[in-house]
Amino acid sequence: MKTLHVDLGDRSYPIYIGPNLLGNADLLTPHIGGKQVMIVSNETVAPLYIEKLRAGLADFQVQEVILPDGEQYKNLDVLNTIFDALLQAHFDRSCTVIALGGGVIGDMAGFAAASYQRGVAFIQVPTTLLAQVDSSVGGKTGVNHPLGKNMIGAFYQPQCVIADTVVLQTLDKRQLHSGIAEVIKYGLIRDAEFLAWIEARVPAMLACDNAVMGEAIERSCINKADIVAEDELESGVRALLNLGHTFGHAIETGMGYGVWLHGEAVATGMCMAAEMSRRMGLLNDDEVNRIDDLISAMALPVRAPREMDNERFLELMAVDKKAKEGKIRFVLLKSIGSAFVSDDYEPSVLLSTLDSCRSME
């Protein structure tokens, strides 16, 4: 097991990474204050892992709430299901919420914990690669709105994150590939050496090799933890973690939540950000091709859906958390391993990027 730390003063917490950690009472118990524990999971993950998690909670009063599985259920209506369960069980302010699932479950359980009685403790137990390397770390919680993804939420840090690498073996290939997109992101924005490491291990990652995935998770979390420690509330450098997300969130919203997985949309969004950077004279052809080739090798899409025209993209990207004073802001690349946020671009550059990055199929 590896233990990393997110350094946030009195809100600091550990990230545990390794095999067979799920029901480890020694990891869980120190981070649970009271006796009441509410496990939030979904219909896919719960049958696989909830009993194993409960085995590490024998000394607690444990309840569970099982949500439907899918990005389309990440909304205020379904969020109320968690509040209903907490209230019906008479859980008090000393309770702990445990998120057992992927990014949707982590975001929703975290937001419920941030809101219930104005804040109760919660623990992240991510079961997808995407959640283990990204969404479970850093305290971003929330739900989607029909007009925009993740527009309702709160920054609220967990007590700990427990990333059991064994659970990745039950991921379907599409979910695995989706998570790899967020791993690639760290190499592109700040860690060129890590990107080269990923490029050398494409077959092992696609095969979900346990040792390779463990290292990929660790290196991703080190990058994420460093950025969060520097900028918890995304007022500066943390915005770089949104590489590809302005384009990607527009795809997710425009196509309907759940049609494209988050990592699929972000993968295409990163290719679009690279192309926009090339058109601004920042990246060269070889660098853009290198990014496209890696993302394609990981069985991820590199082109936006043809169903979305420029007008729809612009409409949806205007409803983005990075938008400021009516201007759409993008995370762009100066080079591989060096990113920045900018709203200083010619509109024609954005439009030509959208035109060139749309699928013809």
Q: Could you say which of 24, 144, 182, 219 is catalytic?
A: 182
State the distance between the two ends of the chain, measured CA to CA, in whole angstroms: 45
* Residue 201 neighbours by CB under 8 Å, 6+ apart: 209, 212, 216
Amino acid of residue 358? R
Residue from 31, 249, 278, 322 carrying the catalytic annotation: 249
Which of these is catalytic: 74, 149, 177, 245? Answer: 245
* CB 102 within 8 Å of CB 130: yes
Indicate if 11 belongs to the active site. no
Q: Is 177 a catalytic residue?
A: no
Please, which residues have CB within 8 angstroms of residue 18's CB and are 6 or more apart in sequence?
1, 2, 163, 164, 165, 214
Dihedral (C-alpha) 344, 153, 295, 6: value to the nearest 10 degrees?
100
pTM: 0.95
Digit-by-digit pLDDT tens for the chain (361 residues) are: 999 999 999 999 999 999 999 999 999 999 999 999 999 999 999 999 999 999 999 999 999 999 999 999 999 999 999 999 999 999 999 999 999 999 999 999 999 999 999 999 999 999 999 999 999 999 999 999 999 999 999 999 999 999 999 999 999 999 999 999 999 999 999 999 999 999 999 999 999 999 999 999 999 999 999 999 999 999 999 999 999 999 999 999 999 999 999 999 999 999 999 999 999 999 999 999 999 999 999 999 999 999 999 999 999 999 877 777 778 999 999 999 999 999 999 999 999 999 999 987 6
Helix, coil or strand: residue 75: coil
Catalytic residue status for 145? no
> Side chain identity at 201, as an amino acid letter?
R
In angstroms, the CA 162 to CA 127 distance is 9
Bridge partners, residue 122, by sequence:
97
245 is catalytic: yes
Catalytic residue among 74, 140, 185, 279: 140
Judged by DSSP in three states, 153 sits in strand
In a 13 Å sphere around the CA of 86, the CA atoms on its Cβ side amount to: 27
- Examine the residue annotation and report whether 238 is marked as an active-site residue of this protein: yes
Would you tell me how many other CB atoms lie within 10 Å of the CB of residue 344? 9
In the annotation, is 234 catalytic?
yes
Domains and CATH numbers, the chain: 2-170 (3.40.50.1970), 173-356 (1.20.1090.10)
* CA distances in angstroms from 65 to 46, 82, 166, 195, 299, listed in the order given: 10, 7, 23, 39, 34
Q: Report the b/e string of 144-154 with b at 16+ CB within 10 A.
A: beeebbbbebe
Q: What is the DSSP letter of 345?
A: S
| Non-local CB neighbours of 146 within 8 Å, separated by 6+ positions | none
User: Active-site residue 140, yes or no?
Assistant: yes
Alpha helices in 191-279 (DSSP H): 192-199, 202-206, 210-230, 245-255, 262-279
